[in-house]
């Protein structure tokens, strides 16, 4: 039995019966058959389905957003934006998919040769709770466009959202069983996922989640010699150089850290500021953070809702307390908010450095760690002093210098004078312990295809 809880008040939302082994097997049989049939559907028809999907997502926006807000506490305006972003992504692939999937001729004397991007079958997706709709659609839209099927294992605390997503695909006219949700008791998830990855009917696997889960999925995929994409943790650096527009950087820093109540892999988490502008940046940043409204996520005036679970709040409290004990200074916030729900004060720690949990670990919630750098070289060194490598944001009055500094720091994406974000037109993914593989853009569409060579002589 799976029970979902409203993190804003701690009350039970719904209960769901877990699938039996026989029911799981039936779903896999049906999904594998649907994927095989879908792979033979012309690309043009697949892309037409994406156009219908975009319209269906917009039509279902209010219900999907309300479900996300209830299940994981996302501020309602951000939940609506998540659905719209998913619709825009469906439209992007509807427009660009044919060109991306088109055969590519190769000039070789005496033969006709080309490269083709062909479906591989049923793809298993293990998805997290923090973006219940967008995380799934970010993967599912290009995967379906490529001619594959989707088997979704979502996080148990957003089971309602997972089932609602499945219904949206049906309502958009996708074949029955092509997109299926697995409802599995949490204790049974590791063995179930490992068994599915080993199953010959599963062609590949993708996971967005923790490093521990990623290690298990990646190892299982390796044993089965199957393709995998892992989008794991992040501790993105937000670097402010001495020549930056500090007012603009500080305002952007508030958005970069506290979007989704700080519960995002690509939220900026470490704010590394050159000494010459550190005091001004910290003052402006703290004022901005203190101005954030915290409370009921259904209230459109609220910027920061609850954490999704109480155990996540406890983990965040540990990171703050241990960092302060190690020498960090609490500029604002620092603890849980009394009352119902899993709320945590928007928090800024200054004087952080390597060796402190707030600097070394991924902080998944409304906590920002500020570190002061001597100069640009020191800022680059501090930014790179992490096991993660997802995104990077650099703020400077000289964009070319920003790019130059970014090249010294390993990450999957580098944004200059902009907040890190995902966009269907550019690939998304990490390096180091932030994972491997890419979603979105052409790379994401081709990720789960068989890149096949054709060589025809005579």
- Whole-angstrom Cα distance, residue 311 to residue 132? 19
- Whole-angstrom Cα distance, residue 328 to residue 82? 34
Q: Where are the beta strands (DSSP E) in 333-448?
A: 347-350, 367-373, 388-389, 392-395, 415-416, 431-432, 435-436
Q: In 3D, which of 174, 180, 85, 183 has the Cα closest to residue 134?
A: 85
**Which residues participate in catalysis according to the annotation?**
231, 265
- Whole-angstrom Cα distance, residue 123 to residue 98? 21
| Three-state DSSP state, 418 | coil
In this structure, the chain runs to a length of 458
Neighbours of 288 (CB within 10 A): 19
Neighbours of 359 (CB within 10 A): 25
What is the sign of the dihedral through the CA atoms of 35, 41, 46 and 47?
positive
- Whole-angstrom Cα distance, residue 165 to residue 316? 30
Q: In 3D, which of 294, 289, 306, 299 has the Cα closest to residue 343?
A: 306
Give the burial string for 407-442 (b: 16+ CB within 10 Å, else e).
eebbbbbbbbbebbbbebeebbbbebbbbbbbbbbb
- Whole-angstrom Cα distance, residue 62 to residue 80? 7
Neighbours of 16 (CB within 10 A): 16
- Whole-angstrom Cα distance, residue 119 to residue 36? 9
Q: In 3D, which of 419, 410, 357, 356 has the Cα closest to residue 383?
A: 410
């Amino acid at each position: 039995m799976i029970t979902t809880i409203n993190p804003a008040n701690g009350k039970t939302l719904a209960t769901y019966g877990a699938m039996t082994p026989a029911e799981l097997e039936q779903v896999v049989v049906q999904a594998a058959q649907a994927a095989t049939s879908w792979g033979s559907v012309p690309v043009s028809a697949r892309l037409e389905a994406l156009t219908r999907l975009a319209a269906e997502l917009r039509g279902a926006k209010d219900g999907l957003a309300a479900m996300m807000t209830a299940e994981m506490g996302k501020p309602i305006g951000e939940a609506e934006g998540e659905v719209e972003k998913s619709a825009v992504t469906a439209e992007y692939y509807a427009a660009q998919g044919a060109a991306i999937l088109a055969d590519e001729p190769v000039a070789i004397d005496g033969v006709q040769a080309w490269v083709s991007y062909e479906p591989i079958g049923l793809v298993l997706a293990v998805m997290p709770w923090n973006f219940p709709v967008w995380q799934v659609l970010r993967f599912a839209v290009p995967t379906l466009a490529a001619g594959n099927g989707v088997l979704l294992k979502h996080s148990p605390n957003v089971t309602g959202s997972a089932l609602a997503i499945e219904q949206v695909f049906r309502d958009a006219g996708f074949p029955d069983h092509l997109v299926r949700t697995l409802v599995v008791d949490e204790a049974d998830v590791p063995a179930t996922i490992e068994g599915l990855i080993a199953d010959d009917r599963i062609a590949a696997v993708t996971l967005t989640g923790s490093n521990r889960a990623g290690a298990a999925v990646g190892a299982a995929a390796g044993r089965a010699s199957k393709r995998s994409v892992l989008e794991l943790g992040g501790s993105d650096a937000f670097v402010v150089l001495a020549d930056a527009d500090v007012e603009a950087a500080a305002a952007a820093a508030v958005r970069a850290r506290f979007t989704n109540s700080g519960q995002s892999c690509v939220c900026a988490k470490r704010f590394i500021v050159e000494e010459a502008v550190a005091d001004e940046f910290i003052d402006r940043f703290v004022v901005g953070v203190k101005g954030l409204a915290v409370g009921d996520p259904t209230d459109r005036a609220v910027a920061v809702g609850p954490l999704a679970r109480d155990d996540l709040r406890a983990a965040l409290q540990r990171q703050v307390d241990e960092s302060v004990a190690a020498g960090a200074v609490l500029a604002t916030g620092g603890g849980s908010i009394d009352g119902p729900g899993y709320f945590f004060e928007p928090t800024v720690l200054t004087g952080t450095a390597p060796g402190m949990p707030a600097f070394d670990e991924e902080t998944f919630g409304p906590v920002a760690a500020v570190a002061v750098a001597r100069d640009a070289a020191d800022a680059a060194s501090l930014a790179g002093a992490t096991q993660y490598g997802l995104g990077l944001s650099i703020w400077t009055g000289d964009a070319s210098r920003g790019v130059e500094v970014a090249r010294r720091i390993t990450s999957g994406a580098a944004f200059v004078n902009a907040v890190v974000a995902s966009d269907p037109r550019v690939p998304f993914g990490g390096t180091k312990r932030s994972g491997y593989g890419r979603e979105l853009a052409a790379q994401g569409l081709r990720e789960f295809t068989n890149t096949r060579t054709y060589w025809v002589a005579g």
